[in-house]
Structure 1
């Protein structure tokens, strides 16, 4: 059995220069704390002989389980979902780190990673909708499904840029290409990036807000806060689908 690398050796290879500075590619939670912890987990996964794609599969399961956990009423279900989302984030960091250390990078791994993000964020929004509906097929469950569809469409709008460029024989999109050509739209995009309201439908941020809503509900003895949150996620998802599409069409991403 080969000797396991030290944490310092692991970091030197799996955290290439610029990784933590990628504002568009690295989540704030990764930069803040998870990338500091993930090499320790990656070392354990390396000792266990797991492959990067197996970790990605576990990541998908953790994300889906977080959505299911929201069906458990009250604060315990919300806390469990938030913890599972943190596990999802850890595995999302470690699968790439393991791939870089072992050299087992693949197109399949990239594909599974994207599928995992689609499924996990949609699952959390669907779970939130049914949680607000308190197990009954009410309008809140429909709103949760609508928010999940919106989250998937937003990701599809981003990924389809790469599809369109690849089919046209063009290189991958750059940060400069994402800037809208019209000055007014460019300013509005920058305002949106500052306000970051779209983060409400992302798994990590949403899981934390769900816990806060569950605390409020526990004090009130009802589901008012969770139901307000479901409505907010549906509105944000719907607005963001339109704004993101306009941003893509108005930028140089398809030029």
Structure 2
């Protein structure tokens, strides 16, 4: 591993570039509020497909390849789900007990806060992957970055929709999503400073992130989709749910093409 200035600059610059993909949700700024309100459930459906697709098609297989034991990875995924269950209990407890200066409860739903937590863990993992790839070879670093950007764009669009559904304004949804995405940079810096520790931590962080994604999609987002139960909602959300999974499958194929060159 060659720890040159170019390695540090390339890894940190690439991770910040990935963070900027969180701004792909800025399209919400230019959509009329009433129309945006009708679109948001479909963005949540996209988020569900992308989160589940990422967990089952990307994160879990990657963890199995690194760990070598399917049962250990599955147990760690379950641990991740348990961890996010506890986190949501704490979020909901704080939500129920939080009273503002006017004596009214805070109006941000737990789904939004859980989405930010899950995305922060996933972004940190992406940062470790970027930092590690730059330590091996700058060319591998750039191809890894391109692959991560490809799967981040549909996910970030869905995340912004989930945050708006959870009560944030479009401006705050994009801003908080960007703040959350900066954990990519933190993951890259962590890897550059502690490369061996960062690499070994992926064995646990990948399935924990997968467990978090499965938990958030299944317990927070899918029930939210059932609040809209017309035939049009059923057809539209099912198609977009499937498209989210399809996006992740096609992007995994793209990643394999990029990283095999």
Same fold flag (TM > 0.5)? no
- The structure, 1 or 2, with the larger RCO (C-alpha pairs under 8 Å, 6+ apart) is 2
Shorter-chain TM-score tier: 0.3 to 0.5
TM-score (structure 1 length as normaliser): 0.32
Higher Cα Rg, which structure: 1
TM-score (structure 2 length as normaliser): 0.32
Whichever structure has more helix as a proportion of its residues is 2
